Structure 1
Amino acid sequence: MDPKRFRAALTSSSPVSNESEPEPESPRVAEVQLHLEAEDGKLLLYLPTPSETRLEWVDLLQEVQKQLESGQRLWPPNTLVELVTGDRLLDHRQLQQIVNALTTVKLHLTRLHTKRRQTAVAAATSGYSIEQQAQILPMAQSTIAQFKLDAEEKDAAPLYLQTTLRSGAEIRHPGTVVIQGDLNPGSSVVADGDILVWGRLRGITHAGASGNAKSQIMALQMEPTQLRIADWVARAPESLPDQFYPEVAYIATDGIQIAPAADFSKNMIQP
Protein backbone atom coordinates (compact mmCIF):
# COMPACT_ATOMS: atom_id res chain seq x y z
CA MET A 1 0.00 0.00 0.00
CA ASP A 2 1.34 3.42 -0.95
CA PRO A 3 1.70 5.40 2.34
CA LYS A 4 1.18 8.67 0.45
CA ARG A 5 -2.36 7.62 -0.31
CA PHE A 6 -3.03 5.82 2.96
CA ARG A 7 -6.45 6.29 4.46
CA ALA A 8 -7.78 4.46 7.49
CA ALA A 9 -11.42 4.71 8.46
CA LEU A 10 -13.73 3.41 11.10
CA THR A 11 -17.35 3.65 12.15
CA SER A 12 -19.08 2.49 15.27
CA SER A 13 -21.51 -0.32 14.62
CA SER A 14 -25.06 -0.24 15.88
CA PRO A 15 -25.92 -2.95 18.44
CA VAL A 16 -27.88 -5.89 17.06
CA SER A 17 -30.90 -6.85 19.09
CA ASN A 18 -31.94 -10.50 19.51
CA GLU A 19 -35.45 -9.53 20.49
CA SER A 20 -38.22 -10.08 18.00
CA GLU A 21 -39.87 -6.77 18.86
CA PRO A 22 -38.30 -3.75 17.19
CA GLU A 23 -36.56 -1.30 19.49
CA PRO A 24 -37.94 2.24 19.80
CA GLU A 25 -36.45 4.43 17.14
CA SER A 26 -33.94 7.01 18.29
CA PRO A 27 -32.89 10.11 16.38
CA ARG A 28 -30.64 9.06 13.54
CA VAL A 29 -27.06 10.25 13.63
CA ALA A 30 -25.19 10.71 10.38
CA GLU A 31 -22.14 8.56 11.09
CA VAL A 32 -18.95 10.27 9.94
CA GLN A 33 -15.77 8.27 9.84
CA LEU A 34 -12.57 8.92 11.70
CA HIS A 35 -9.87 9.42 9.06
CA LEU A 36 -6.11 9.23 8.91
CA GLU A 37 -4.68 10.64 5.70
CA ALA A 38 -1.09 11.10 4.51
CA GLU A 39 -0.43 14.39 2.74
CA ASP A 40 2.89 15.97 1.76
CA GLY A 41 4.91 14.02 4.29
CA LYS A 42 2.54 14.59 7.21
CA LEU A 43 -0.55 12.89 8.61
CA LEU A 44 -3.98 14.50 8.93
CA LEU A 45 -6.12 13.06 11.73
CA TYR A 46 -9.82 13.95 11.39
CA LEU A 47 -11.98 13.60 14.50
CA PRO A 48 -15.77 13.42 13.99
CA THR A 49 -17.79 15.91 16.02
CA PRO A 50 -20.33 14.75 18.64
CA SER A 51 -23.14 15.34 16.12
CA GLU A 52 -21.37 13.10 13.60
CA THR A 53 -20.77 9.99 15.72
CA ARG A 54 -22.45 7.89 18.42
CA LEU A 55 -19.13 7.31 20.19
CA GLU A 56 -18.49 8.94 23.56
CA TRP A 57 -15.08 10.50 24.10
CA VAL A 58 -13.61 7.47 25.93
CA ASP A 59 -14.67 5.14 23.11
CA LEU A 60 -13.52 7.56 20.42
CA LEU A 61 -10.11 7.83 22.06
CA GLN A 62 -9.83 4.03 22.08
CA GLU A 63 -10.64 3.92 18.37
CA VAL A 64 -7.98 6.56 17.69
CA GLN A 65 -5.44 4.44 19.55
CA LYS A 66 -6.46 1.33 17.58
CA GLN A 67 -6.13 3.14 14.26
CA LEU A 68 -2.72 4.53 15.17
CA GLU A 69 -1.43 1.14 16.30
CA SER A 70 -2.77 -0.69 13.23
CA GLY A 71 -1.24 1.81 10.82
CA GLN A 72 2.06 2.27 12.62
CA ARG A 73 4.02 0.40 9.94
CA LEU A 74 2.70 2.67 7.17
CA TRP A 75 4.55 5.82 8.17
CA PRO A 76 8.12 6.54 9.32
CA PRO A 77 8.86 7.43 12.95
CA ASN A 78 8.60 11.09 13.97
CA THR A 79 6.03 11.88 11.27
CA LEU A 80 4.28 15.20 11.94
CA VAL A 81 0.51 15.20 12.56
CA GLU A 82 -2.15 17.88 12.11
CA LEU A 83 -5.36 17.31 14.08
CA VAL A 84 -8.66 18.41 12.48
CA THR A 85 -11.47 18.72 15.02
CA GLY A 86 -14.11 20.92 13.35
CA ASP A 87 -16.83 21.78 15.89
CA ARG A 88 -15.57 19.30 18.50
CA LEU A 89 -14.69 20.94 21.82
CA LEU A 90 -11.39 19.71 23.28
CA ASP A 91 -9.96 20.77 26.64
CA HIS A 92 -6.34 20.50 27.80
CA ARG A 93 -6.88 17.01 29.22
CA GLN A 94 -8.43 15.60 26.04
CA LEU A 95 -5.79 17.24 23.87
CA GLN A 96 -3.05 15.70 26.01
CA GLN A 97 -4.69 12.28 25.65
CA ILE A 98 -4.49 12.61 21.86
CA VAL A 99 -0.86 13.73 22.15
CA ASN A 100 -0.07 10.72 24.36
CA ALA A 101 -1.67 8.35 21.84
CA LEU A 102 0.39 9.87 19.04
CA THR A 103 3.60 9.76 21.07
CA THR A 104 3.09 6.05 21.76
CA VAL A 105 3.42 5.31 18.02
CA LYS A 106 6.20 7.90 17.55
CA LEU A 107 4.07 10.59 15.93
CA HIS A 108 4.23 14.29 16.82
CA LEU A 109 1.33 16.76 16.88
CA THR A 110 2.25 20.15 15.41
CA ARG A 111 -0.97 21.91 14.40
CA LEU A 112 -4.66 21.85 15.22
CA HIS A 113 -7.50 22.95 12.90
CA THR A 114 -10.68 23.94 14.75
CA LYS A 115 -13.85 26.00 14.54
CA ARG A 116 -14.11 26.30 18.34
CA ARG A 117 -12.36 29.16 20.11
CA GLN A 118 -12.07 27.17 23.36
CA THR A 119 -10.25 24.40 21.51
CA ALA A 120 -7.99 26.94 19.83
CA VAL A 121 -7.10 28.45 23.21
CA ALA A 122 -6.34 25.03 24.69
CA ALA A 123 -4.06 24.17 21.77
CA ALA A 124 -2.28 27.52 21.64
CA THR A 125 -1.58 27.61 25.37
CA SER A 126 -0.21 24.08 25.08
CA GLY A 127 2.30 25.31 22.51
CA TYR A 128 0.74 24.01 19.28
CA SER A 129 0.06 25.94 16.09
CA ILE A 130 -3.62 26.50 15.39
CA GLU A 131 -5.81 27.40 12.46
CA GLN A 132 -9.28 28.52 13.45
CA GLN A 133 -11.13 28.53 10.15
CA ALA A 134 -13.69 26.44 8.31
CA GLN A 135 -13.48 22.72 8.93
CA ILE A 136 -11.12 20.90 6.59
CA LEU A 137 -12.96 17.94 5.07
CA PRO A 138 -11.37 14.62 4.15
CA MET A 139 -10.54 14.21 0.46
CA ALA A 140 -13.44 11.80 0.02
CA GLN A 141 -15.92 14.46 1.15
CA SER A 142 -14.35 17.68 -0.13
CA THR A 143 -15.55 19.20 -3.38
CA ILE A 144 -14.11 22.66 -2.82
CA ALA A 145 -10.66 23.33 -4.18
CA GLN A 146 -10.13 26.68 -2.49
CA PHE A 147 -11.32 28.10 0.82
CA LYS A 148 -13.23 31.39 0.69
CA LEU A 149 -14.43 33.40 3.65
CA ASP A 150 -18.16 34.04 3.85
CA ALA A 151 -19.90 36.91 5.62
CA GLU A 152 -20.24 34.99 8.88
CA GLU A 153 -16.52 34.21 9.07
CA LYS A 154 -15.57 37.82 8.32
CA ASP A 155 -17.47 38.75 11.49
CA ALA A 156 -15.72 36.08 13.57
CA ALA A 157 -15.43 36.83 17.28
CA PRO A 158 -11.97 37.85 18.52
CA LEU A 159 -9.60 35.14 19.69
CA TYR A 160 -8.12 35.91 23.13
CA LEU A 161 -4.98 34.05 24.18
CA GLN A 162 -3.05 34.32 27.43
CA THR A 163 0.22 32.71 26.39
CA THR A 164 3.65 33.32 24.92
CA LEU A 165 4.17 31.95 21.41
CA ARG A 166 7.42 30.06 21.11
CA SER A 167 9.46 29.70 17.93
CA GLY A 168 7.65 27.59 15.33
CA ALA A 169 4.15 28.26 16.69
CA GLU A 170 1.60 29.78 14.33
CA ILE A 171 -1.88 31.20 14.99
CA ARG A 172 -4.44 31.66 12.20
CA HIS A 173 -7.86 33.18 12.88
CA PRO A 174 -10.62 34.70 10.67
CA GLY A 175 -11.09 37.66 13.02
CA THR A 176 -9.08 39.76 15.47
CA VAL A 177 -6.40 38.12 17.64
CA VAL A 178 -5.56 39.48 21.10
CA ILE A 179 -2.53 37.97 22.85
CA GLN A 180 -1.58 38.65 26.45
CA GLY A 181 2.02 37.53 26.22
CA ASP A 182 5.02 37.69 23.87
CA LEU A 183 5.59 36.61 20.27
CA ASN A 184 9.05 35.10 20.23
CA PRO A 185 11.21 35.16 17.07
CA GLY A 186 10.13 32.36 14.75
CA SER A 187 6.46 32.54 15.79
CA SER A 188 3.70 34.07 13.67
CA VAL A 189 0.11 35.31 13.87
CA VAL A 190 -2.13 35.59 10.79
CA ALA A 191 -5.51 37.27 11.30
CA ASP A 192 -8.21 38.62 9.01
CA GLY A 193 -8.83 41.36 11.58
CA ASP A 194 -6.50 43.30 13.88
CA ILE A 195 -3.64 41.90 15.95
CA LEU A 196 -3.06 43.19 19.50
CA VAL A 197 -0.06 41.93 21.46
CA TRP A 198 -0.02 42.81 25.15
CA GLY A 199 3.71 42.13 25.33
CA ARG A 200 6.80 41.98 23.08
CA LEU A 201 6.15 41.44 19.40
CA ARG A 202 9.32 39.86 17.97
CA GLY A 203 7.81 37.40 15.50
CA ILE A 204 5.85 37.76 12.26
CA THR A 205 2.35 39.25 12.16
CA HIS A 206 -0.07 39.55 9.24
CA ALA A 207 -3.25 41.54 9.94
CA GLY A 208 -6.03 41.95 7.40
CA ALA A 209 -4.88 38.72 5.76
CA SER A 210 -8.06 38.48 3.67
CA GLY A 211 -7.37 41.93 2.18
CA ASN A 212 -8.64 44.43 4.77
CA ALA A 213 -6.20 47.35 4.50
CA LYS A 214 -7.83 49.08 7.49
CA SER A 215 -6.55 46.43 9.88
CA GLN A 216 -3.94 47.38 12.46
CA ILE A 217 -1.21 45.78 14.54
CA MET A 218 -0.54 47.02 18.07
CA ALA A 219 2.06 45.92 20.61
CA LEU A 220 3.44 47.16 23.91
CA GLN A 221 6.93 46.56 22.55
CA MET A 222 7.29 46.48 18.76
CA GLU A 223 10.34 44.47 17.61
CA PRO A 224 8.89 42.50 14.69
CA THR A 225 10.73 40.24 12.31
CA GLN A 226 8.12 41.23 9.72
CA LEU A 227 4.85 43.16 9.67
CA ARG A 228 2.17 42.58 7.05
CA ILE A 229 -1.16 44.33 6.65
CA ALA A 230 -3.30 43.15 3.74
CA ASP A 231 -0.85 43.11 0.78
CA TRP A 232 1.69 45.48 2.34
CA VAL A 233 4.92 44.22 3.91
CA ALA A 234 7.38 45.97 6.23
CA ARG A 235 10.49 44.72 7.97
CA ALA A 236 11.96 45.76 11.28
CA PRO A 237 14.42 48.70 11.25
CA GLU A 238 18.14 47.99 11.53
CA SER A 239 18.42 49.58 14.99
CA LEU A 240 15.99 49.41 17.88
CA PRO A 241 14.92 52.47 19.93
CA ASP A 242 16.40 53.12 23.37
CA GLN A 243 12.93 53.27 24.87
CA PHE A 244 9.88 51.19 24.10
CA TYR A 245 6.24 52.27 24.34
CA PRO A 246 2.97 50.99 22.88
CA GLU A 247 2.89 51.42 19.11
CA VAL A 248 0.42 50.87 16.28
CA ALA A 249 1.22 49.75 12.75
CA TYR A 250 -1.22 50.82 10.03
CA ILE A 251 -1.33 51.50 6.30
CA ALA A 252 -0.75 55.11 5.26
CA THR A 253 -0.47 56.58 1.76
CA ASP A 254 3.16 55.48 1.44
CA GLY A 255 2.82 52.03 3.00
CA ILE A 256 2.98 50.63 6.54
CA GLN A 257 3.73 53.21 9.20
CA ILE A 258 4.36 52.75 12.93
CA ALA A 259 3.22 55.43 15.36
CA PRO A 260 3.04 55.74 19.15
CA ALA A 261 -0.32 54.43 20.30
CA ALA A 262 -1.08 57.66 22.19
CA ASP A 263 -0.48 59.83 19.11
CA PHE A 264 -2.38 57.43 16.88
CA SER A 265 -5.39 57.51 19.23
CA LYS A 266 -5.41 61.32 19.28
CA ASN A 267 -5.40 61.48 15.50
CA MET A 268 -8.21 58.95 15.30
CA ILE A 269 -10.57 60.92 17.53
CA GLN A 270 -10.06 64.23 15.80
CA PRO A 271 -13.03 65.38 13.65
Structure 2
Amino acid sequence: MAAVLIAASAPGLAHQMLLPAVPDGAASALQNVRLGLGHRPPHGPVVLHSGSWQLDLPKLRELQRLFHTHGLKLCRVEGHCEETLVAAAAIGLPVISNRGAEDDGSATGEGHNQASGAIEALTGRDGLNLHRGTLRSGDHLEVGGSLLVLGDVNPGARVRAVGHVLVWGRLRGIAHAGCAGDANARIVAMQLRPLQLRIADAVARGPEDQPPHGFCEQATLVGGTIRIDPAEPFWPVADA
Protein backbone atom coordinates (compact mmCIF):
# COMPACT_ATOMS: atom_id res chain seq x y z
CA MET A 1 0.00 0.00 0.00
CA ALA A 2 1.31 3.44 -0.89
CA ALA A 3 2.07 6.12 1.63
CA VAL A 4 -0.53 8.88 1.96
CA LEU A 5 0.26 12.58 1.49
CA ILE A 6 -2.11 14.88 3.37
CA ALA A 7 -1.88 18.45 2.13
CA ALA A 8 -1.56 21.25 4.68
CA SER A 9 -4.88 22.79 5.68
CA ALA A 10 -3.53 26.35 5.49
CA PRO A 11 -0.53 28.22 4.01
CA GLY A 12 2.54 28.06 6.20
CA LEU A 13 1.65 24.68 7.72
CA ALA A 14 3.47 21.44 6.94
CA HIS A 15 2.09 18.65 4.78
CA GLN A 16 1.88 15.20 6.37
CA MET A 17 3.28 12.03 4.78
CA LEU A 18 2.08 8.79 6.41
CA LEU A 19 3.85 5.52 5.71
CA PRO A 20 1.71 2.35 5.82
CA ALA A 21 1.10 1.24 9.40
CA VAL A 22 2.87 -2.11 8.96
CA PRO A 23 6.19 -2.23 7.07
CA ASP A 24 5.82 -4.36 3.95
CA GLY A 25 8.88 -6.45 3.16
CA ALA A 26 7.98 -6.37 -0.54
CA ALA A 27 8.08 -2.58 -0.78
CA SER A 28 10.61 -0.12 0.58
CA ALA A 29 9.75 3.14 2.31
CA LEU A 30 11.14 4.94 -0.73
CA GLN A 31 8.74 3.08 -3.04
CA ASN A 32 5.79 3.78 -0.75
CA VAL A 33 6.62 7.49 -0.57
CA ARG A 34 7.16 7.73 -4.32
CA LEU A 35 3.72 6.21 -4.93
CA GLY A 36 2.17 8.47 -2.30
CA LEU A 37 3.59 11.61 -3.87
CA GLY A 38 1.67 11.07 -7.09
CA HIS A 39 2.24 13.29 -10.11
CA ARG A 40 1.68 16.80 -8.71
CA PRO A 41 2.23 16.98 -4.95
CA PRO A 42 2.06 20.37 -3.23
CA HIS A 43 5.30 22.22 -2.45
CA GLY A 44 6.53 23.18 1.02
CA PRO A 45 7.60 21.49 4.28
CA VAL A 46 6.50 17.95 5.03
CA VAL A 47 6.40 15.86 8.21
CA LEU A 48 7.18 12.16 7.76
CA HIS A 49 5.13 9.84 10.01
CA SER A 50 7.34 6.76 9.92
CA GLY A 51 5.39 4.59 12.38
CA SER A 52 7.26 1.34 13.03
CA TRP A 53 9.46 1.58 9.92
CA GLN A 54 13.19 1.25 10.63
CA LEU A 55 14.97 3.82 8.45
CA ASP A 56 18.72 4.25 8.66
CA LEU A 57 20.77 7.27 7.57
CA PRO A 58 21.10 6.31 3.88
CA LYS A 59 17.35 5.64 3.59
CA LEU A 60 16.44 8.95 5.23
CA ARG A 61 18.85 10.87 3.00
CA GLU A 62 17.32 9.13 -0.01
CA LEU A 63 13.87 10.20 1.14
CA GLN A 64 15.13 13.76 1.60
CA ARG A 65 16.36 13.79 -1.99
CA LEU A 66 13.06 12.36 -3.25
CA PHE A 67 11.06 15.01 -1.42
CA HIS A 68 13.40 17.70 -2.76
CA THR A 69 12.83 16.62 -6.37
CA HIS A 70 9.09 17.19 -5.80
CA GLY A 71 9.52 20.62 -4.22
CA LEU A 72 9.08 19.33 -0.67
CA LYS A 73 11.41 19.76 2.30
CA LEU A 74 11.50 17.09 5.01
CA CYS A 75 11.16 19.14 8.21
CA ARG A 76 10.41 16.55 10.91
CA VAL A 77 10.15 12.80 11.53
CA GLU A 78 7.58 11.28 13.88
CA GLY A 79 7.39 7.60 14.77
CA HIS A 80 8.02 4.95 17.40
CA CYS A 81 11.11 3.18 16.02
CA GLU A 82 14.12 4.39 18.02
CA GLU A 83 16.58 3.58 15.23
CA THR A 84 14.68 5.82 12.80
CA LEU A 85 14.45 8.71 15.26
CA VAL A 86 18.15 8.47 16.11
CA ALA A 87 19.07 8.47 12.42
CA ALA A 88 16.80 11.46 11.74
CA ALA A 89 18.31 13.40 14.63
CA ALA A 90 21.80 12.57 13.34
CA ILE A 91 21.11 14.45 10.09
CA GLY A 92 19.68 17.43 11.95
CA LEU A 93 15.95 16.73 11.68
CA PRO A 94 13.59 17.41 14.61
CA VAL A 95 12.01 14.18 15.85
CA ILE A 96 8.95 13.27 17.92
CA SER A 97 8.57 9.84 19.53
CA ASN A 98 5.10 8.27 19.37
CA ARG A 99 5.96 5.14 21.29
CA GLY A 100 2.76 5.43 23.31
CA ALA A 101 0.57 5.53 20.18
CA GLU A 102 1.23 2.16 18.50
CA ASP A 103 -1.76 0.88 16.59
CA ASP A 104 -1.85 -2.51 18.31
CA GLY A 105 -4.28 -1.30 20.96
CA SER A 106 -1.78 -1.63 23.80
CA ALA A 107 -1.71 2.02 24.80
CA THR A 108 -1.13 2.78 28.47
CA GLY A 109 -3.87 3.84 30.85
CA GLU A 110 -2.58 7.40 30.63
CA GLY A 111 -2.96 7.37 26.85
CA HIS A 112 -6.49 6.03 27.19
CA ASN A 113 -7.42 8.82 29.58
CA GLN A 114 -6.05 11.37 27.11
CA ALA A 115 -8.23 9.91 24.36
CA SER A 116 -11.31 9.99 26.59
CA GLY A 117 -10.73 13.66 27.37
CA ALA A 118 -9.82 14.72 23.86
CA ILE A 119 -13.27 16.18 23.16
CA GLU A 120 -12.50 19.08 25.48
CA ALA A 121 -9.07 19.59 23.90
CA LEU A 122 -10.20 19.58 20.27
CA THR A 123 -13.73 20.90 20.00
CA GLY A 124 -13.97 24.21 18.16
CA ARG A 125 -10.59 24.16 16.41
CA ASP A 126 -10.56 24.82 12.67
CA GLY A 127 -8.37 23.09 10.09
CA LEU A 128 -6.93 19.61 10.68
CA ASN A 129 -7.09 18.13 14.18
CA LEU A 130 -4.70 15.23 14.79
CA HIS A 131 -5.27 12.45 17.33
CA ARG A 132 -2.61 9.77 17.84
CA GLY A 133 -3.67 6.41 19.23
CA THR A 134 -6.56 3.96 19.11
CA LEU A 135 -10.01 5.07 20.26
CA ARG A 136 -11.77 2.44 22.35
CA SER A 137 -15.36 1.79 23.38
CA GLY A 138 -16.69 4.83 25.21
CA ASP A 139 -14.24 7.32 23.66
CA HIS A 140 -15.77 10.26 21.84
CA LEU A 141 -13.89 12.81 19.73
CA GLU A 142 -15.57 15.89 18.26
CA VAL A 143 -13.75 18.64 16.35
CA GLY A 144 -14.61 21.92 14.68
CA GLY A 145 -12.58 21.24 11.53
CA SER A 146 -11.44 17.93 10.04
CA LEU A 147 -10.21 15.01 12.16
CA LEU A 148 -7.28 12.69 11.44
CA VAL A 149 -6.96 9.65 13.73
CA LEU A 150 -3.60 7.84 13.62
CA GLY A 151 -4.93 4.54 14.90
CA ASP A 152 -8.11 2.47 14.96
CA VAL A 153 -11.61 3.56 15.92
CA ASN A 154 -12.94 0.50 17.74
CA PRO A 155 -16.61 -0.55 18.12
CA GLY A 156 -18.26 1.63 20.74
CA ALA A 157 -16.07 4.66 19.95
CA ARG A 158 -17.48 7.74 18.19
CA VAL A 159 -15.84 10.44 16.07
CA ARG A 160 -17.57 13.58 14.85
CA ALA A 161 -16.24 16.44 12.74
CA VAL A 162 -17.54 19.57 11.04
CA GLY A 163 -15.20 18.68 8.15
CA HIS A 164 -13.78 15.34 7.03
CA VAL A 165 -13.12 12.26 9.17
CA LEU A 166 -9.85 10.52 8.23
CA VAL A 167 -8.72 7.32 9.96
CA TRP A 168 -5.20 5.96 9.39
CA GLY A 169 -6.35 2.56 10.62
CA ARG A 170 -9.59 0.59 10.93
CA LEU A 171 -12.88 2.42 11.41
CA ARG A 172 -15.24 0.08 13.24
CA GLY A 173 -17.11 2.50 15.49
CA ILE A 174 -19.41 5.39 14.58
CA ALA A 175 -18.25 8.28 12.39
CA HIS A 176 -20.07 11.51 11.51
CA ALA A 177 -18.50 13.87 8.97
CA GLY A 178 -20.00 17.22 8.01
CA CYS A 179 -21.93 17.30 11.28
CA ALA A 180 -22.81 20.97 10.73
CA GLY A 181 -24.45 20.15 7.40
CA ASP A 182 -21.52 19.95 4.93
CA ALA A 183 -22.67 17.44 2.31
CA ASN A 184 -19.21 17.51 0.66
CA ALA A 185 -17.46 16.08 3.72
CA ARG A 186 -15.92 12.61 3.42
CA ILE A 187 -15.08 9.70 5.68
CA VAL A 188 -11.83 7.99 4.68
CA ALA A 189 -10.20 4.97 6.34
CA MET A 190 -7.72 2.24 5.58
CA GLN A 191 -10.54 -0.18 6.45
CA LEU A 192 -14.06 1.23 6.47
CA ARG A 193 -16.25 -1.18 8.44
CA PRO A 194 -18.10 1.07 10.91
CA LEU A 195 -21.22 0.33 12.90
CA GLN A 196 -22.72 3.52 11.49
CA LEU A 197 -21.75 6.27 9.05
CA ARG A 198 -23.18 9.77 8.92
CA ILE A 199 -22.44 12.55 6.44
CA ALA A 200 -24.40 15.74 7.07
CA ASP A 201 -27.95 14.44 7.71
CA ALA A 202 -27.58 11.12 5.85
CA VAL A 203 -27.15 7.89 7.83
CA ALA A 204 -25.98 4.45 6.68
CA ARG A 205 -24.68 1.21 8.10
CA GLY A 206 -21.19 0.07 7.26
CA PRO A 207 -20.61 -2.63 4.62
CA GLU A 208 -20.33 -6.25 5.71
CA ASP A 209 -18.19 -7.61 2.87
CA GLN A 210 -14.39 -7.71 3.04
CA PRO A 211 -12.55 -4.51 2.07
CA PRO A 212 -10.65 -4.44 -1.26
CA HIS A 213 -7.04 -5.49 -0.84
CA GLY A 214 -4.51 -2.67 -1.04
CA PHE A 215 -7.01 0.21 -1.11
CA CYS A 216 -8.13 2.81 1.38
CA GLU A 217 -11.87 3.45 1.27
CA GLN A 218 -13.97 6.59 1.36
CA ALA A 219 -17.60 7.35 2.01
CA THR A 220 -19.18 10.29 0.18
CA LEU A 221 -22.69 11.64 -0.15
CA VAL A 222 -24.04 11.14 -3.69
CA GLY A 223 -27.62 12.09 -4.46
CA GLY A 224 -28.55 12.03 -0.79
CA THR A 225 -27.15 8.51 -0.31
CA ILE A 226 -23.85 7.53 1.31
CA ARG A 227 -21.64 5.63 -1.15
CA ILE A 228 -18.39 3.78 -0.42
CA ASP A 229 -15.62 3.64 -3.02
CA PRO A 230 -11.83 3.20 -3.16
CA ALA A 231 -10.27 6.40 -1.81
CA GLU A 232 -8.56 8.97 -4.00
CA PRO A 233 -4.72 9.15 -3.83
CA PHE A 234 -4.82 12.48 -1.93
CA TRP A 235 -6.82 12.68 1.26
CA PRO A 236 -9.22 15.68 1.31
CA VAL A 237 -7.62 18.02 3.83
CA ALA A 238 -6.54 21.09 1.85
CA ASP A 239 -10.13 22.11 1.23
CA ALA A 240 -11.26 21.44 4.79
Shorter-chain TM-score: what band?
Answer: 0.3 to 0.5
Q: Which has the larger radius of gyration?
A: 1
TM-score, length-scaled by structure 1: 0.42
TM-score, length-scaled by structure 2: 0.47
